[in-house]
Amino acid sequence: MSRLVRFVVLALCLVAGHGARSEPLPVPSGPVLLTVTGAIANRNSPEGARFDRAMLEALGMVELKTSTPWTDGVPTFRGVPMARLLDAVGAFGKTLHATAANSYAIDLDAAEMRRYPILLALEQDGRQLRLRDRGPIWVILPRDQYAELQSKSQDLKWIWQVRSIEVR
Protein backbone atom coordinates (compact mmCIF):
# COMPACT_ATOMS: atom_id res chain seq x y z
CA MET A 1 0.00 0.00 0.00
CA SER A 2 2.62 2.45 1.13
CA ARG A 3 4.74 1.32 -1.82
CA LEU A 4 1.90 2.15 -4.18
CA VAL A 5 1.42 5.56 -2.59
CA ARG A 6 5.10 6.25 -2.96
CA PHE A 7 5.03 5.24 -6.62
CA VAL A 8 2.06 7.49 -7.35
CA VAL A 9 3.69 10.46 -5.64
CA LEU A 10 6.90 9.90 -7.53
CA ALA A 11 5.05 9.66 -10.82
CA LEU A 12 3.16 12.88 -10.14
CA CYS A 13 6.41 14.63 -9.32
CA LEU A 14 7.95 13.45 -12.58
CA VAL A 15 4.93 14.58 -14.56
CA ALA A 16 4.94 17.93 -12.80
CA GLY A 17 8.66 18.39 -13.41
CA HIS A 18 8.32 17.44 -17.05
CA GLY A 19 5.38 19.73 -17.39
CA ALA A 20 7.35 22.59 -15.86
CA ARG A 21 10.22 21.93 -18.13
CA SER A 22 8.15 21.38 -21.21
CA GLU A 23 6.21 24.54 -20.68
CA PRO A 24 6.93 26.47 -23.86
CA LEU A 25 9.09 29.53 -23.44
CA PRO A 26 7.30 32.76 -24.30
CA VAL A 27 8.59 34.81 -27.17
CA PRO A 28 10.44 37.93 -26.06
CA SER A 29 8.51 41.12 -26.61
CA GLY A 30 11.22 43.59 -25.61
CA PRO A 31 14.91 43.86 -26.52
CA VAL A 32 16.65 40.54 -26.16
CA LEU A 33 19.16 40.63 -23.32
CA LEU A 34 20.33 37.04 -23.37
CA THR A 35 20.44 34.18 -25.83
CA VAL A 36 20.96 30.61 -24.68
CA THR A 37 22.00 28.14 -27.32
CA GLY A 38 23.39 24.62 -27.65
CA ALA A 39 22.35 21.70 -25.52
CA ILE A 40 19.02 22.96 -24.29
CA ALA A 41 15.57 21.43 -24.37
CA ASN A 42 13.48 24.56 -24.52
CA ARG A 43 13.77 27.08 -27.30
CA ASN A 44 11.74 29.95 -28.51
CA SER A 45 13.67 30.62 -31.70
CA PRO A 46 15.62 28.59 -34.22
CA GLU A 47 18.93 29.57 -32.66
CA GLY A 48 17.82 28.83 -29.15
CA ALA A 49 16.19 30.46 -26.15
CA ARG A 50 15.99 34.21 -26.23
CA PHE A 51 15.14 36.28 -23.19
CA ASP A 52 14.03 39.84 -22.79
CA ARG A 53 14.08 41.53 -19.39
CA ALA A 54 10.48 40.61 -18.61
CA MET A 55 11.08 36.97 -19.31
CA LEU A 56 14.16 36.94 -17.11
CA GLU A 57 12.38 38.70 -14.29
CA ALA A 58 9.50 36.22 -14.69
CA LEU A 59 11.91 33.38 -13.88
CA GLY A 60 12.05 34.77 -10.37
CA MET A 61 14.40 37.37 -8.98
CA VAL A 62 16.47 36.84 -5.85
CA GLU A 63 18.77 39.08 -3.86
CA LEU A 64 22.45 38.54 -3.12
CA LYS A 65 24.68 40.75 -0.99
CA THR A 66 28.36 40.38 -1.60
CA SER A 67 31.51 42.40 -2.09
CA THR A 68 33.34 42.24 -5.40
CA PRO A 69 36.90 43.07 -6.50
CA TRP A 70 35.49 45.81 -8.71
CA THR A 71 33.21 47.64 -6.37
CA ASP A 72 33.50 49.43 -3.07
CA GLY A 73 31.48 48.31 -0.06
CA VAL A 74 28.97 45.51 -0.18
CA PRO A 75 26.44 46.06 -2.94
CA THR A 76 23.11 44.28 -3.08
CA PHE A 77 22.47 42.47 -6.33
CA ARG A 78 19.14 41.23 -7.71
CA GLY A 79 18.78 38.81 -10.52
CA VAL A 80 17.93 35.36 -11.80
CA PRO A 81 19.65 32.35 -10.21
CA MET A 82 21.78 30.64 -12.78
CA ALA A 83 20.29 27.25 -11.88
CA ARG A 84 16.81 28.56 -12.49
CA LEU A 85 17.81 29.82 -15.93
CA LEU A 86 19.42 26.50 -16.77
CA ASP A 87 16.29 24.69 -15.64
CA ALA A 88 14.10 27.04 -17.68
CA VAL A 89 15.95 26.21 -20.88
CA GLY A 90 16.35 22.55 -19.98
CA ALA A 91 20.11 22.71 -20.24
CA PHE A 92 21.79 19.36 -20.32
CA GLY A 93 25.40 20.13 -21.15
CA LYS A 94 28.41 20.16 -18.90
CA THR A 95 29.92 23.41 -19.92
CA LEU A 96 28.51 26.91 -20.32
CA HIS A 97 30.38 28.95 -22.86
CA ALA A 98 29.51 32.52 -21.88
CA THR A 99 30.27 35.42 -24.22
CA ALA A 100 30.22 39.08 -23.28
CA ALA A 101 29.38 42.18 -25.31
CA ASN A 102 33.09 42.99 -25.62
CA SER A 103 33.74 39.49 -27.05
CA TYR A 104 35.26 38.30 -23.77
CA ALA A 105 34.36 34.65 -23.39
CA ILE A 106 34.87 31.98 -20.71
CA ASP A 107 33.85 28.37 -20.14
CA LEU A 108 31.92 27.85 -16.94
CA ASP A 109 31.28 24.45 -15.33
CA ALA A 110 27.54 23.83 -15.40
CA ALA A 111 27.60 21.69 -12.28
CA GLU A 112 29.51 24.37 -10.37
CA MET A 113 27.05 27.00 -11.55
CA ARG A 114 24.25 24.93 -10.12
CA ARG A 115 26.11 24.04 -6.92
CA TYR A 116 26.32 27.64 -5.67
CA PRO A 117 23.55 30.24 -5.62
CA ILE A 118 25.16 32.09 -8.54
CA LEU A 119 23.22 35.03 -9.83
CA LEU A 120 22.66 36.50 -13.29
CA ALA A 121 22.38 39.96 -11.78
CA LEU A 122 20.15 42.52 -13.43
CA GLU A 123 20.19 45.13 -10.68
CA GLN A 124 22.74 46.56 -8.26
CA ASP A 125 21.61 48.45 -5.18
CA GLY A 126 18.12 48.81 -6.63
CA ARG A 127 19.21 50.15 -10.01
CA GLN A 128 19.16 48.29 -13.31
CA LEU A 129 22.62 47.51 -14.54
CA ARG A 130 23.44 49.33 -17.74
CA LEU A 131 26.10 48.34 -20.20
CA ARG A 132 28.37 51.02 -18.71
CA ASP A 133 27.71 49.54 -15.25
CA ARG A 134 28.86 46.03 -16.43
CA GLY A 135 25.27 45.17 -17.25
CA PRO A 136 22.72 44.41 -18.29
CA ILE A 137 23.69 40.93 -17.04
CA TRP A 138 26.58 40.36 -14.65
CA VAL A 139 27.40 36.92 -13.28
CA ILE A 140 27.72 37.35 -9.50
CA LEU A 141 29.33 34.68 -7.34
CA PRO A 142 28.40 34.52 -3.61
CA ARG A 143 31.96 35.46 -2.78
CA ASP A 144 31.37 36.56 0.78
CA GLN A 145 29.34 33.47 1.60
CA TYR A 146 31.78 30.88 0.24
CA ALA A 147 35.49 31.27 1.06
CA GLU A 148 36.46 28.91 -1.78
CA LEU A 149 35.07 31.46 -4.25
CA GLN A 150 37.47 34.20 -3.12
CA SER A 151 40.60 33.16 -5.04
CA LYS A 152 41.96 35.05 -8.00
CA SER A 153 41.09 32.28 -10.42
CA GLN A 154 37.48 32.55 -9.30
CA ASP A 155 37.48 36.27 -10.27
CA LEU A 156 37.64 35.24 -13.95
CA LYS A 157 34.16 33.70 -13.68
CA TRP A 158 32.59 37.06 -12.86
CA ILE A 159 31.78 37.71 -16.51
CA TRP A 160 29.87 40.90 -17.07
CA GLN A 161 27.91 42.29 -20.03
CA VAL A 162 26.85 38.70 -20.82
CA ARG A 163 25.14 38.44 -24.17
CA SER A 164 24.94 34.76 -24.83
CA ILE A 165 25.47 31.37 -23.25
CA GLU A 166 26.15 28.29 -25.29
CA VAL A 167 25.45 25.08 -23.44
CA ARG A 168 27.98 22.46 -24.47
Partner 1 sequence: MIDRLRRSATIWAIGLFVLVLAMAGLLVASILRYEQLQDRASISSPENAVWNSAQAELELARFLDALLLYGSGAPEGDAARVRDHFELLWSRVGLYQSGVLATAIAGRPDYLQLIEELLAALTATDAGLDALRPGDLAQARAVHARFRPFLARLREMTVQDLRRDMERNEALRGLHQKLTQQVFVFVSLFIVTAVLVVAGSVRSTRQMQRLFHVAAAARDDAEISRAQLRHAVTSINEGFALYDAQDRLVLCNDRYRALYPGRTDLIRPGALLAEIDRLAMRRRGQPAAPAEDRLEGGRWVLASDRATEDGGFVCIRADITELKRREYELTATKGRLEQQAAEMRALAEAAQQASEAKSRFLAMMSHEIRTPMNGVLGVLGMLADSPLEEGQRRLVATARASADALLAILNDILDFSKIEAGQLQLEPVAFSPAELVGGVADLWAVPARAKGLALEVEIAPDAPAWVRGDAGRIRQMLLNYASNAVKFTDAGRVTLAVGRRPGEAASPVLRFSVSDTGMGIPAARAAELFHDFRQLDASIARRHGGTGLGLAITKRLAEAMGGEVGFTSRPGSGSTFWVDLPLPAAAAPAPVAAKVEHGPLLTMDGRAPAVLLVEDNATNQLVARAFLDRLGCRVEIAGNGAEAITAVARQRHDVILMDISMPVMDGLEATRRLRAGGVAVPIVAVTASASAGDAERFRAIGMDGCLLKPISLGGLRAALAEALAGEPNTRPAATAGSEGKRMIIDHELLNGLRAEIGDEVVDTLVEAACNDLAQVARTCQEALAGADRPAARTAAHALKGIAAAIGATALSARAAAIEQAAKDPDIELPAAPDLAGLLAATLEGLTLATSGARAARSA
Residue 160 in contact with partner 1, rule: CB under 8 A? yes
Is the CB of residue 144 less than 8 Å from the CB of residue 137? Answer: no
Pick 37 or 161: Cβ nearer partner 1:
161
CA 44 vs CA 11, 82, 154: distances in Å: 28, 19, 32
Tell which positions 79-138 bind partner 1, by CB under 8 A: 101-102, 130-134
| Count of residues of this chain found to bind partner 1 when the rule CB under 8 A is applied | 14
Minimum CB–partner distance for residue 125 and partner 1 (Å): 12
Burial state string for 12-33 with b = 16 or more CB within 10 A and e = fewer than 16: eeeeeeeeeeeeebeebeeeeb
Is the CB of residue 89 less than 8 Å from the CB of residue 49? Answer: yes
Tell which positions 59-78 bind partner 1, by CB under 8 A: 68-72
Minimum CB–partner distance for residue 101 and partner 1 (Å): 6
Pick 64 or 86: Cβ nearer partner 1:
64
Torsion of CA 57, 82, 120, 146, to 10 degrees: 130
Pick 38 or 135: Cβ nearer partner 1:
135
DSSP state of 167: E
Residue 151 in contact with partner 1, rule: CB under 8 A? no
- Contact positions vs partner 1 (CB under 8 A): 68-72, 101-102, 130-134, 160-161
